[in-house]
Structures are given as C-alpha cells and as structure tokens.
Structure 1
Amino acid sequence: MPPTPRMAWLDALRAVAVLLVLYAHASRYVLTDVRAVTAEWLHAGPAGVMLFFLVSGYIIPASLERHGNLRRFWIGRAGRLLPLYAVVTVAVVLLGFYRPADPATAAVAHATMVPFLLGEPLATPVFWTLAFEMVFYLLVTALFAVRLQRADAVMAVLLTICAVLTAPLAPNAVRTPYAALVLVAGLALVLSGRRWAVTAGGLTLGGLALTLVIAGGQPAHAWDGLLVVAVMFAGTTIYRADTGQTGWWTVAVVAPVVAAGLLANWFAELVSLDALTPRYMARSVITLLVFAGAFAVGMLTRRWRTPSWLATLGVISYSVYLTHYLLLLVMRPLLVHDALVIAYGGTVLIVSWVTHRYVELPGQRWARRMSDVWDEPGRVQQTHAPVRG
C-alpha cells in the first residue's frame, strides 16, 4: 500500500528508525568490524527506537483527537498491532525459541502487550518497545478521558523531572494477574462510552500506566524508562506546535528539558558502571543528536519529494521491526560472511511485505469495520486537529 504524500515524511522517519534497529541487531553477526567502530560512537538501536517513539508521540494523539472517540482509537490500535504481534509470538514458540517456565502467566503477560513491564521474559527482545507504546496509549487515554489531552508539554516535563529524581527505578514489582485485571477493567470502562465510566476507566488506566513504568520493567531501562514516555510526549508537543494549537515556545522549553534529562540519566548510568569516559559521554550525545536530528530534518524537508522506496519501507516498518529478529535467529547459522547481510536483508524485506499484506492490512480493515459498527456510543469528545504532512 503506497504511502500518501501527507504521511510520507513520517513513513520515511519510520524507515530510518527501523534501519538503525536492523543494523544494531544484524551487526552482532555480520559487519562486525563496522560495528566495532560505530558502536564506540553511536547506540544505533536506542537511536532507532527513540526515533520511533518521537514519531508515535507526534501521530498517535492526533489520530485519537481526529476521531474524538476512544472506542475507535482502541479498536484501531488492536487491529494495527495485535495480529502481527500474535503471529510472531506463535512463530517464536513453534520454532522453539521461547520456552517460558510458566506458560499460563507468560501468555497472560503477552496478551497485555506489556510483559516487559511485568518482569516476564519476552518471547522476542523487540517486544520491549511495545510495552512503552502501550504505556503511552494508556496515559493518552487517561488525559483524553479527563479532558486534559493538551497537557502533553506538562507531562513531558514532569516525567523528565521524576526520571532524574528517581533513577534508577526499582523494577519487577508488578505482578501479571493484577495488572491484567486492572487493564481489562479500565478498558471495559473506557469502551463503555458512558461519561462517568470513561472518566473512571481513564484514571484507572493512567494509574496503571504510571505504576507499570515506575515499578515494573527490567533493569535494562531502570535509568530511562520514564524518559522514554517523556520523549513520546515531547513528540506530541511538537505536533501541537506544528498544527497551531500551541506556540513553538512550548517546544523550545520541552525539547531541551527532555534532552537534558536523557543525558543526565545516561551519564548517571555510566557512572554506575564506572564508565563515564569522554568517548562514552560523546556516544550518548551523538545518539541523542541522531534521533532528534533525524526528526528535525524530516520535518524541515517534508515538503520535498520523499523517495518512494524509503516511504514504502516506512509503511512496512512494523513488520520489519517484529520479524527481523526472529529471522535473524533462524538465519544465524548461515551468517558466516559479511556479504550474506544482503541475503538476510532481502529475506527480511520479502517476509515483511508478505506479513504486511496478509496480516497487518486485514487487521486494519477489520478495525475499520468494527469501528463503523461500534462507533457512536464511544464518542466522548470531538476535537478537530488535522494532521498536516
């Protein structure tokens, strides 16, 4: 499905993001000499996922407010994310790459899409980003439900301040059954469409989201878990300024605060590892500049004609992101020479096109049909805020 001109620049940014992640993972087995040099100066994986988060922050609240409907939003998210997520999870299990000690708990945790924030081993490592996406969706829902959806700049600053003051977080304190029950109850209230229930459900989901990101998770993101969400709200702040809802002064305040918080905590993590060296400090700064700079360049050049291959790669980027690591595990025994990175990359693109065509798109069509059937009772507020491309 070719991207529309309005969205092409965002699709191009998704393509850049997924290429960074793909390089970060594949270069563990091929192009290792190149990685030995670049890894000293750039965290390609974190740069890629942070760029993804910025794009999500920009576009997700816009999508919700355009419809003014929490039901349509959640049905759309389910149709967009769940089908391929389920297919990849089943494939990982069937291929023997994932054998949880407690299958029932693992299944429930993965059904919530936040297993990373429940201390459960992940079916595939790339699922960790989806957990933070879910946290963002829950917080956006909470703000929308209580009519504070334009508090994104405040949220970004508050989350950044809390991140700096509380790091490192103490993870693994949330249990799967309780979190799953709260999530189901909160969503049921929100989707009921009744004003009091929507408000109660939004507050429930918002509380769950903050609990998950503060007390859940794993040590890998004890230093920057809250900052991941702050980055997404910074993306929303950019969207509001870009559409004239607020002044660009909000971005001038929020962006430096979030950037300073990221660097402060990344440096603090280096101190904890006894690795606060000029080179690693420079790597943190470069990583920040790469993903923030890529987003800025994307915005500044969006009126230009986006290369079709780049925009198309962005369209299938979700498939690329979820399938590339599984394919890496499958093809790992074959990756004995750098030239084979071409074969691996080609396989990823072919499989991703197939999964996008036959898994993602049917899920999206299902979501549109369900939204049309189950629309009006979920409408709680209409905000006309078109996304400009």
Structure 2
Amino acid sequence: MPVDGRIETSAPSVDSVSRSPSAPPIARQAWLDALRGLAALVVVFEHSLDALLPEVRGAVSPWFDFGQYGVLLFFLISGYVVPVSLERRASVRGFWITRFFRIYPLWAVAAAVGTAFAVAGVWNVIPGQTAERPWTALLAHLTMLQDLLQVPSVVNVFWTLSYEMAFYLLVTAMFVLGSRGAGAGTSLSFAACGLLAGLLIPAGWLTRNLGVAVVGVATVALLGGIAAVVSTDRNVRTRGAVVIAALALVLLTFNSRVGAWQSLVILATMFAGTAVYRLQHSEAPARTRWMLALVPVVSVAAAVLLGPGWGMSESAEQAFKWSWSAALIGAWLTFAAGLALRHRAVSRALVWLGLVSYSIYLLHPLILQVVRRLTMDPSQISLPARLAWEAALFALVLGLAALGHRFVERPAQRVGRRLARAVPRESAIHLEK
C-alpha cells in the first residue's frame, strides 16, 4: 500500500531538474488522501467480517472482495505517486532514505507486536515454517519481499508491502537507466505477461526447486543492488539497476505466493496509476489511452481464465474469479471518480484518514486479534452486540492509528526528510551522462 501522501503538482523538464539546487515544493493532494483513507477503512471492514459479520461474508464476498478492492486502490495510488516523487526528487539516495523512514519504523512496531501476539497465542499462531527457520523468516521480512520468497507474513497485511518493494525496485532501476517513459505501455505489458506467465509458471516455482536458498540469494541481490544504485560511479549504478530490476521481475514471475498472473497484474495496476499521471500532465501521447483502457480488460481476463492458482472447490473458484474481478473494476472506477472530482473540496476528516491510513492498515490486524479472542464464536452473539463490537473495533483502530502516526510515523518521517535534504542531488549525473 502507498505510504507517501505527497505528490508533486507538476513534472519539471530535464533541464530544470538538472539545474535546480533543491527540489521544488511538494504538496499534498486531498483527493488522494480521501481515496487512501477509504481504502484503509474498507480493508478493516473486510478483515472484520469473519469475526463479527459472517452474514455479510456469506452474502457479499462471493460477488465482491472488499480486501482486494482496498489494496488494488492503494496500488493505483502508489503508481500515481511514487515514480513522479523519485523523478522530482532526482536523488536515488534521497528516495530510499525517505522510503526507509516512512515504511520501516511503524512496520517494525507492527512486526514486533504481531510476533509477540503469535507467541502468546492471542489468536494467530506462528506458522510452522517460521518456527522451523526463524532466522530465514526474519531475513525475508527485513527485505519486505517475504510474499515473493514464500515466507508467511507475521502480520497478514504485510504481503502487500512485498509488491510495493518490487515496484520501488523497478521504478528505481528505470530512473537510473534513464527511462522516464513508464506508463500505459509498461502497464499493459505487465498485464499481458501476467496472462501468459500464469498459463506456464506455477506459484512458488523457485522455492519449490531451490528451497530456502532463494531467501539468501534475494537478500544479497537486494542489498548489493541498492548499494550499487546509490553509488556515485555511473557504471556501478547501471549494474545495480540491472540487478534490482532482475530481482523484482524474477521473484514476481517465478516465486510469488499468489502466482505469476496476480503478481504481474498488481504491477500492471501500479504502472497504470503512473500512466494516469503522465496522461493527466501531458507527459504521454493521448493515443496511449487505449493501452491504458486495455489493462483492466486483460487483468480481468487473467482472473477469469486462470483463477486463484491454488486448490479450491469449483464453486469457490468461481466466487474468486467474480469477486476479484469486481474488486479490480471497483478500484479502477473509484480512482477514476477521485481523479474526476479532484478539484472539489475534501473534508478534513477524509484528509486525516489519508494521513493515518498506513497506521490503520498495519495496526488494525493486531486489534482484530484481540477482538476475535474476546468474541470467539460470532454465532453466539446477537447482531446488535456484534454491530456494537464493529463500531468499537473501528474506534479502537482509529485511536491506535492516531497514536501510531503521531509517535512513530511523524517523528521517523522528519528524520528521513532531514537526512534526505543532506544528500546531494544526482539528477545531473543521471540525466546528462
């Protein structure tokens, strides 16, 4: 999910990036905050259904997946925001410093509490694979690529961060290699490759054949690649860009937990967000709109033709195909509506929800574990009582998110921005050599 609420209002020319001594002002866009807040709340609602509203799960979930809707909306927002942020910052080192301090501090808190809850048996338990190889699991989590390394996430929502990380790697590689054209063509290519790869490559193929060695190799490639792309030597940067791009593409295609078609469609969705930005700001030819329009069509075709990629009954597989496709279409329509209404005033409450959306997203599973422990069997609780629990859940999540944002996210982000400002801009090196 996106964790950066900032986006530049326009993209500069190559010359202006190269010559400007400091990055231009970065402004928040309220409509993005509103969408981000909506997505976070929908994910919380989805995760509460089994514990508190099984009637909704049974009646609606076969037709619409609230969780997939929320995360796909997040992915569209990431695609719209992240590449342009790197281009405007014009510093790979600055980009990764700010990414680290935006993502890791709160992630570390959630991971620590989630692990403690699992050890204590609050609700979830430590997966057998993690218990057998704890250091491998720790290493995979620290890379944030655990979902692409076939390692179960200690907190269920962490899986989306693996795709965010893969996206960051690809965006960084494109920037270092001098490509600013990622947009509709890139998005459609990922969707088409997802359809093809899903027909040919089983989920987790690398780990099935190479075992846990994949985690070690991926960790070395990630650390070495990032160290290289922040180098001041052009040749080293180029090699580093190739390494991190190859790492992301190989893991997405050959080792994703959800299968090649879903992982590549997720990346297609992110680059679709980038394409929307470029079309909106006349950075891409208008004729590429037809490519962008084909992305959700190809994505839905992949879902319908390939299904979940793991064992399900025929009825469950049909429900997956329909609910996933409806969620994808819903996310695209919601993003389009937000874009169309972007000049309208947005309430402060929605903007605030966007500000704390990362805390909502990462911390709500912890509160939900406690709620599930207290409620146990929803069939033994009356509907009014469960609705009261639902309201209490949202109130507790919002309260904890406010604390997480105030005492973890904001201080860490200030440190990240301060360190990033001390990093020399690399634009002249990247764009002129």
TM over 0.5: yes
Q: CA deviation at 1:251?
A: 2.9
Residue 174 of structure 2: aligned partner? 143
Distance (Å, rounded) in 2 between the aligned partners of 1:275 and 1:327: 32
Is 1:170 the counterpart of 2:208 in the alignment? no
For residue 28 of structure 1, give the secondary structure of its aligned residue in structure 2. Answer: helix
Residue 287 of structure 2: aligned partner? 249
Distance (Å, rounded) in 2 between the aligned partners of 1:6 and 1:289: 26
2:92 and 2:426 in contact (8 A); partners too: no
Is 1:181 the counterpart of 2:220 in the alignment? yes
Larger radius of gyration: 2
Is 1:108 the counterpart of 2:108 in the alignment? no
Structure 2: runs of 5+ lacking an equivalent: 7-25, 208-213, 376-380
Q: Structure 1 residues 296 and 214 mapped into 2: Cα distance closer, same or farther (>3 Å)?
A: same
Q: CA deviation at 1:225?
A: 1.1
1:50-199 correspondence to structure 2 within 5 Å: 50-95=72-117, 96=119, 97=124, 99=126, 100-101=130-131, 102-168=133-199, 169-172=201-204, 173-174=206-207, 175-199=214-238
Q: Structure 1 residues 380 and 82 mapped into 2: Cα distance closer, same or farther (>3 Å)?
A: farther
Residue 351 of structure 1: aligned partner? 400
| One-letter amino acid of the counterpart of residue 30, structure 1 | L
Residue 323 of structure 1: aligned partner? 363
| Structure 1 residues 304-335: Cα deviation after superposition (integer angstroms, max 9, x where no partner) | 01121111111111110001111111221234
| One-letter amino acid of the counterpart of residue 126, structure 1 | V
Residue 299 of structure 2: aligned partner? 262
1:193 and 1:378 in contact (8 A); partners too: no
Structure 1: runs of 5+ lacking an equivalent: 384-389
1:117 and 1:213 in contact (8 A); partners too: yes
1:98 and 1:123 in contact (8 A); partners too: no
What is the TM-score when the length of structure 1 is the normalising length? 0.91
| Structure 1 residues 15-56: Cα deviation after superposition (integer angstroms, max 9, x where no partner) | 111122111101111122223222132111111100000000
Distance (Å, rounded) in 2 between the aligned partners of 1:93 and 1:192: 35
Residue 235 of structure 1: aligned partner? 273
Q: Which moved more, 1:93-102 or 1:13-22?
A: 93-102
Q: Which moved more, 1:209-218 or 1:280-289?
A: 280-289
For residue 374 of structure 1, give the secondary structure of its aligned residue in structure 2. Answer: coil
Residue 387 of structure 1: aligned partner? none
Q: Sequence identity, in percent?
A: 34
2:308 and 2:317 in contact (8 A); partners too: no
Q: Which moved more, 1:90-99 or 1:346-355?
A: 90-99
| One-letter amino acid of the counterpart of residue 299, structure 2 | L
For residue 298 of structure 1, the aligned residue among 335, 338, 347 is 338
Q: Would you say how many aligned residue pairs link Structure 1 and Structure 2? A: 380
| Structure 1 residues 271-292: Cα deviation after superposition (integer angstroms, max 9, x where no partner) | 9753499876654443232101
Q: CA RMSD in A?
A: 2.3
Residue 246 of structure 2: aligned partner? 207
Q: Which moved more, 1:131-140 or 1:337-346?
A: 337-346
For residue 148 of structure 1, give the secondary structure of its aligned residue in structure 2. Answer: coil
Q: CA deviation at 1:162?
A: 1.1
Distance (Å, rounded) in 2 between the aligned partners of 1:374 and 1:164: 41
What is the TM-score when the length of structure 2 is the normalising length? 0.82
Distance (Å, rounded) in 1 between the aligned partners of 2:113 and 2:428: 37
For residue 342 of structure 1, the aligned residue among 387, 391, 396 is 391
Distance (Å, rounded) in 2 between the aligned partners of 1:181 and 1:271: 31
